[in-house]
Amino acid sequence: MGATGAHVLFKRPMKNFHAPGITLILLFGIGTQASFTHAQERDPALLDELVITATRVDTPVADVPAAVSVIDYKDIAIRNVSRIGDALVQVPGLYLRGGALGQSQGTQGTSGMSLRGVDQSRVLVLLNGQPLQDASSGKVNWRVPFIDDIERIEVVPGAFSASYGSNAMGGVINIIGKQPDRHEFISRIQQGWGDASGTDTSVYLRDKLDNGIGFTGGLSYQDRSSYINDFVVKTPSAGVPGTPVVGATPITTRDGTPAYLVGDLGATSWRSLNATAKLHYDLNPADKIFTSISYQQSDQRATAFNSYLRNAATGAPVSSGNLDINGQLVKLSNYDYTLFSFLPLQETTTQIRVGYDGTLGDDFLLKADLAQISRGYQFTLANPTANWVNGAGSLSSTPNNALDGTLQLSFPLTERHFFVTGMAWHQDEVNQQISALSNWRDPLTITALNTTYNGKSRTASLFAQDEISFSTPLKLYLGGRWDEWSTQGSNTNYAAPATSNIFPSRTVSAFSPKISGIYPFDDMFTLRASFGQSFRAPTNQDLYTTSTSRGRTTSGDPNLQPEKGQTWELGADWQPKDEHKLSATIYVTELKEMIYLQQVSPTQSLRINAGKARIQGIDLSSHHLLSKRLMLEANYAYVDSKMLDNPADPLSVEKRLTDSPKNIAGLTLTARREAWTGVVDAHYYGHTFWTAQNTDVVEGVPGSYDAYSMFNASLSYRFSPEITGKISVNNLMDTVAYSYFLLPRRNLTAELRLEY
């Protein structure tokens, strides 16, 4: 453990600090994903593993009053992880799809996600302490974290606004980078085939000199061909059929409407570049200063679309017109093949951090950091009159940035009280421009500025937490956070009739309390419980944007109020033997003032505070050391989510929330024998809904969100202490399933890794 961690252990109250049976509790984790290889490789004296997310300070896992999951760099190394979501698929209650997964379709790095049924906009994702949510929509670009630079990922479900403020309604995913505190060199090359076709390369170095200077440098590049995963589905229209064609496949839409599969949008290849550099300096054994910069860039390209239709008389390809398919009129246009072609799409992210981590006097721990993140995001869209080659369109450019600062002081108040307090500052800004293009394929052909919007939001925060140790094994955490959120913005429409709106600054305050505790009854049984309140401020997009798509205009509301929530949970860990561990957590989350779209007319929608929902469920996990070479881990989550009230969409009441599977399960078998390490894992996601009214009940068709099981396997062989080879097969059973896009079919990757 580092110097700071050792200092924390020395200064915090020691009475009842180490719960009975801590060694195996730490080996298996509290609801954690664990690896028995750690036990083989670590000194027993180092098994007091520390985590930080749940309490904001280094805390032994056994003292954390939450179901924290920890995935560290050793877990990542033995699996096929090319994007951060690949490392998280076995976290209990976590549902991921789309851009979070490295083998998925080649779209932008954002995706759908939920943690215990709470969707991505209400789960805080941190990278080295700074929110990854962008300043416009609140989405997360999962490509940003540099995989080789990850020390560990901590996932803590539940209400955590008391510690982290806005967005932490459903939990926190904290991605923690490596420190340049020792020598490590990694060079990797990976080649993929099938739906994972492409090449990944990476080089990474960190080291620490005798004079206290530590440094890190890394560069990685991914170039993927992707695969065909997005399809053109058309429903028949009333009227007289046109030109007879063949090649269409009768299917239905995801809501059961009869339709025809007539083509696809081609393969969307992508490239991603990551770079990082860090510099640390130890002022003394307990104090250090640091700075870092990281950069990520991704762009995507696409092959031409494919029409499956042929003229029944001549055999010539057909991609537009009024057609006759099985005696029914089907209207097809070039726009059907360009509607969702976001090209060229490019995302960039730059994060700069400076900070201090150390002591203040003899009894105080001080942390101070300042981080800025700048993002660029742009894509082009075709107009309805355009075709694949050219035609008018638009360019959407949304540069946005955020600045975060934190000052935290931790100290013992008395023998039984350890106090954490501090202040935080968050500000973000977005400036979007949508311009007209004479050629949608070329972003340089701007002819006019169509619309703009600007949004600025600031949050000033004070937080405090008291860790109370009693004469009994009970330990309580009492905390709260005061957030003062302010916002202002404007939008302009330059097309006739031209409009311009300037919205004055307004301020809203929120207080988020939390109480939690943990009680080890004996060597085998531990009980934990918590109750907390939370909030989420509206995004700048919610407040200030007006956009039109396919004839429907959606307007933000500058007077939207923050969403509110509260969560209580009760959990237990039972360890009858050193080799076996069972964990269970039940919880209830209530969300109020949820932001939803209200359909004002057939062509107008408005964002309003309308929804009220309840999510209740249970997480189960078990860990079994079957032998010194074999570990079995399993988890299951039952998530009962329901909309209770929604004036914006009354038909959504009593329906399940979107992106919220009712059942999630995972199973991992890890084996190790001499130089060999093998991992086989399976995960299951139940059916999820895209529509708030739960009308999309059909599975197995383009655009559906299927229930499916996926099996993956990786086998590693260490040729020498420095060289390791790995072969991975994703989707072992070659499952055909959709998560809107067609999921990757069976594919193979091979990796060669040099490490010393």
pLDDT in tens, 395-439: 999 999 999 999 999 999 999 999 999 999 999 999 999 999 999
- For residue 207 the two structure tokens come to 């080291």
- Buried b or exposed e, range 239-252, using 16+ CB within 10 angstroms: eebeeebebbeebb
The backbone region for 161, taken as left when phi is positive above 0, alpha when psi lies in -120 to 50, beta otherwise, is alpha
Question: Contact, 567 vs 531, CB < 8 A?
Answer: yes
Question: Contact, 94 vs 111, CB < 8 A?
Answer: no
- Would you say the pTM of this structure is higher than 0.85? yes
Rounded CA-CA distance 574/520 in Å is: 10
Rounded CA-CA distance 529/281 in Å is: 40
Distances in Å between the Cα of 310 and the Cα atoms of 71, 266, 318, 603, 714 are: 51, 18, 5, 35, 43
Sequence-separated (6 or more) residues with CB below 8 Å from residue 486? 457, 458, 459, 505, 506, 507, 508
Distances in Å between the Cα of 402 and the Cα atoms of 167, 450, 512, 647 are: 15, 26, 23, 33
Rounded CA-CA distance 728/161 in Å is: 39
DSSP code of 335?
G
Q: Which residue has the tokens 């302009």?
A: 492
Sign, Cα dihedral of 474, 116, 682, 684: positive
pLDDT tens digits, one per residue of 621-649 = 999 999 989 999 999 999 999 999 999 89
Which residues lie across from 51 on neighbouring strands?
59
Rounded CA-CA distance 158/170 in Å is: 5
Distances in Å between the Cα of 391 and the Cα atoms of 415, 436, 437, 438, 548 are: 73, 11, 8, 6, 19
**Chain mean position to CA 358:** 30
Backbone angles phi, psi at 149, to 5 degrees: -95, 5
Question: Contact, 296 vs 274, CB < 8 A?
Answer: yes
Helix (H) or strand (E) run with residue 215 in it = strand 213-224
Question: Contact, 125 vs 84, CB < 8 A?
Answer: no
Please choose, from the candidates 576, 580, 578, 641, the residue with its C-alpha nearest in 3D space to the C-alpha of residue 612: 641
Helix (H) or strand (E) run with residue 163 in it = helix 161-164
Please choose, from the candidates 275, 233, 231, 238, the residue with its C-alpha nearest in 3D space to the C-alpha of residue 257: 233
- For residue 584 the two structure tokens come to 């269970």
Give the three-class secondary structure for 265.
coil
Backbone angles phi, psi at 610, to 5 degrees: -135, -35
Within 13 Å of residue 16, how many CA atoms lie on the same side as its CB? 19
Please choose, from the candidates 543, 534, 402, the residue with its C-alpha nearest in 3D space to the C-alpha of residue 479: 534
- For residue 63 the two structure tokens come to 């003292």
Helix (H) or strand (E) run with residue 396 in it = strand 393-397
- pLDDT at site 600: 78
Secondary structure (DSSP) of 625-661: EEETTEEEEEEEEEEEEEEEE-TT-GGGTTSPPTT--
Neighbours of 390 (CB within 10 A): 14
- pLDDT at site 341: 60
Rounded CA-CA distance 149/220 in Å is: 11
Segments of the chain scoring below 50 in pLDDT: 1-47, 106
- pLDDT at site 645: 95
Question: Contact, 470 vs 524, CB < 8 A?
Answer: no
- pLDDT at site 48: 52
Helices and strands, number each (H, E), in the chain: 6, 45
The backbone region for 593, taken as left when phi is positive above 0, alpha when psi lies in -120 to 50, beta otherwise, is left
Strand boundaries in 471-562, DSSP class E:
475-493, 499-520, 525-536, 546-549, 552-555
- For residue 631 the two structure tokens come to 């570990």
Helix (H) or strand (E) run with residue 8 in it = helix 3-11
Query: According to CATH, what is the number of the domain 3-755?
Result: 2.40.170.20
- Buried b or exposed e, range 312-344, using 16+ CB within 10 angstroms: eeeeeebbeeebbbeebebebbbbbbbbebbbb
Sequence-separated (6 or more) residues with CB below 8 Å from residue 444? none
Rounded CA-CA distance 41/45 in Å is: 12
- pLDDT at site 550: 60
Rounded CA-CA distance 51/477 in Å is: 15
- pLDDT at site 340: 62
Please choose, from the candidates 708, 699, 632, the residue with its C-alpha nearest in 3D space to the C-alpha of residue 663: 708
Give the three-class secondary structure for 749.
strand
Question: Contact, 116 vs 168, CB < 8 A?
Answer: no
Please choose, from the candidates 224, 215, 228, 343, the residue with its C-alpha nearest in 3D space to the C-alpha of residue 273: 224
- pLDDT at site 272: 93
Backbone angles phi, psi at 204, to 5 degrees: -150, 135
Neighbours of 654 (CB within 10 A): 11
Q: Which amino acid is at 62?
A: A
